Structure 1
Amino acid sequence: MNWLWAVGGLYLLYAAAMVLAHPKLIYPFGPDVFDAPGWTQAQVTDRAVSIAQWDGTDDVAVLFFMGNGGALAYFTYTLNAHVDAGRTVVAMEYPGGGGIPGKPSEAGLKADALATYDWLASQHDGPIVVHGYSMGTGIAQHVAAERAVFAIILDAPFVKMCELMTKAAWLPACYMPGVQKWNSAALVPQLNAPVLLQHGSADQLIPLRQGARLAALMQAEGLDVDFHAVPGATHSNLAGQPGYRDRIDRFLSDVLK
């Protein structure tokens, strides 16, 4: 019987340690600074949010939120899908990565995103589209739930990040206090814009079934959802797959015509 208490105690210690350590695990940002030609960088809003901006010729502005793996410099394939189409792009940079000082958190990133939207809306008269990749899909949906957007583009989204934590750490992360849960499912009833969702069939970090479940939740709420399972695409190469850009272009053309 004593060994059961010992095992239970060790498990509780492990759980407590993971609560303290999990922000470092879910925000593994890289140091590479974004310095692509033609982009301007600035700090905007009273929160001094760092952004990179491309001024396009189209009426559409895209507010882009990257994933948690690395820095904005690693997302040029996705950014260029909009740049090459002539759209204005504002990409939010995250504190703790890409040479941006600060400490990331779910609450902080979401607050920064709303402030960035408000700044963009004050600068841009045309439609605003939110586009998120991986962790950024949670931020994009948060903005779409709180602000008026014309369309939502989600690449490799999740239903709840804490579900992925549970599988990885063998802990009930969705029920543990102090865990940053990233619950996208809770945002679905607040969305009211058309959604394009692309997810790789070979994605091992966020499995395809996560995107399919999120699409089903959205459809159950009456949202217009265009869901694409991209054959053979992994989590890291989705944006480089044939048809990726074409699907975005068609979707936005249909939504904004």
Structure 2
Amino acid sequence: MLALLFTLISIIIGGVILLYAGLYLIQDRLLFLSRPIQTTIQQWIAQTYPQSEITLSATDKTQLHGWLLKKPDIEKSPLVIYFGGNAEEVSGMAYHFERFDGDWALLLINYRGYGLSKGKPSEKNLKNDAIAIYDTITQRSDINTDCIVAMGRSLGTGVAIHLAAHRPLKGLILVSPYDSITRVVQRHMPYIPISQLLKHPFNSLALAPSITTPMLALVGQQDTLIPPDHAYCLEEKWGGEIDIQLIKHKNHDNISDIEIYWEKIRYFLARIFLNR
């Protein structure tokens, strides 16, 4: 009987070890759901915004691909740098460029391994690349370096926050933000010691007190993946002005499907532009 008990305990322990090992090994594929670019979108951008395609070099010389969309006849454009979600190939944002009123330009650069960008994504790589993107784009004579806003969605909010902590920004727009990926995953897997397994914690909360950049947060009222309380946790620690807008009847995936979402963004950008 005792031998049977020891056998059962060994099986259970072995199963737990295998589970933890499996989660550790596959987490990159779960967190970074890279997507190829669709040919139809690529062709549409080339036709609609000719000469917008851009390739930047990361600090390790990895080539990052994307687009710089600008309004015509603007000598120095204020700029929104967009960081997408974990399953987002960012070319789709080009369809929404005209929703950004005024003189604003929009920079869309795919993460490593997404679209036509080379390399492998990781928290360290994405954050370092954000700095490299900023440093490269601010060397251009057609960009108003005194009026740059970072916009992040879901996973990209952590990248945008990292950029705000290390480079001067006029504003931040965060869509479905989290305080940390660790807390988000722990919420969905409460019985697993996630903090000991996670390779990419994206701890935005630790950076929040040092950031004085004005921030607009857009949060889906019905978001069950990253519920609104994660944004409110950020608010408690944020070092600057923060405006959390709860978008009613919207969830993580469809939050941008309603016009008030874009109205909030336009109003925030207009205020930033006037106060530059």
TM-score (norm 2): 0.84
SS of residue paired to 1:236: coil
Among candidates 69, 81, 89, match of residue 99 of structure 2: 81
1:214-253 to structure 2, matched below 5 A, reads 214-218=234-238, 221=239, 223-253=240-270
Among candidates 154, 164, 178, match of residue 174 of structure 2: 154
SS of residue paired to 1:144: helix
1:44-76 Cα offsets, whole Å, 9 max, x none, are 135322221101347411111011123113444
1:3-47 Cα offsets, whole Å, 9 max, x none, are 334322321221122111100000112223452231622211353
Does the 8 Å CA contact 2:70/2:77 hold for their aligned counterparts? Answer: no
Count of equivalent residues: 252
- 1:256 aligns with 273
Take 1:180 and 1:163, find their aligned partners in 2: how far apart are those partners?
12
Does the 8 Å CA contact 2:69/2:97 hold for their aligned counterparts? Answer: no
1:61-80 to structure 2, matched below 5 A, reads 61-76=79-94, 79-80=97-98
Residues 1:15 and 2:20 aligned together: yes
1:1-257 to structure 2, matched below 5 A, reads 1-2=5-6, 3-33=8-38, 34-35=41-42, 36=45, 37-38=48-49, 40-46=52-58, 47=61, 48-56=63-71, 57=74, 59-76=77-94, 79-82=97-100, 84-123=101-140, 124-126=143-145, 127-169=147-189, 170-176=191-197, 179-218=199-238, 221=239, 223-257=240-274
Counterpart residue identity of residue 81, structure 1 = R
Segment drifting more, 113-122 vs 202-211: 202-211
User: What stretches of structure 1 of length at least 5 have no aligned partner?
Assistant: none
Take 1:208 and 1:109, find their aligned partners in 2: how far apart are those partners?
24
Q: Percent identity?
A: 25
When the two chains are superposed, the root-mean-square deviation of aligned CA atoms in Å is: 2.0
Take 2:97 and 2:272, find their aligned partners in 1: how far apart are those partners?
20
Take 1:211 and 1:185, find their aligned partners in 2: how far apart are those partners?
10
Change over 3 Å in CA distance of 1:208–1:76 after alignment to 2: farther
User: What stretches of structure 2 of length at least 5 have no aligned partner?
Assistant: none
Q: Which structure has the larger Rg over C-alpha atoms? A: 2
Change over 3 Å in CA distance of 1:171–1:85 after alignment to 2: farther
Change over 3 Å in CA distance of 1:89–1:75 after alignment to 2: closer
Take 2:208 and 2:34, find their aligned partners in 1: how far apart are those partners?
27
1:77: Cα distance to partner? 5.8
Take 2:152 and 2:27, find their aligned partners in 1: how far apart are those partners?
22
Counterpart residue identity of residue 65, structure 2 = S
Segment drifting more, 131-140 vs 58-67: 58-67
TM-score (norm 1): 0.89
Take 1:26 and 1:50, find their aligned partners in 2: how far apart are those partners?
21
1:193-223 Cα offsets, whole Å, 9 max, x none, are 10000000111221122122222321xx3x1
Does the 8 Å CA contact 1:159/1:213 hold for their aligned counterparts? Answer: yes
Does the 8 Å CA contact 2:91/2:108 hold for their aligned counterparts? Answer: no
1:59-117 Cα offsets, whole Å, 9 max, x none, are 411111011123113444654432x5441111121122224332111111111110000
Take 1:205 and 1:215, find their aligned partners in 2: how far apart are those partners?
19
Counterpart residue identity of residue 110, structure 1 = K
Take 2:98 and 2:9, find their aligned partners in 1: how far apart are those partners?
55
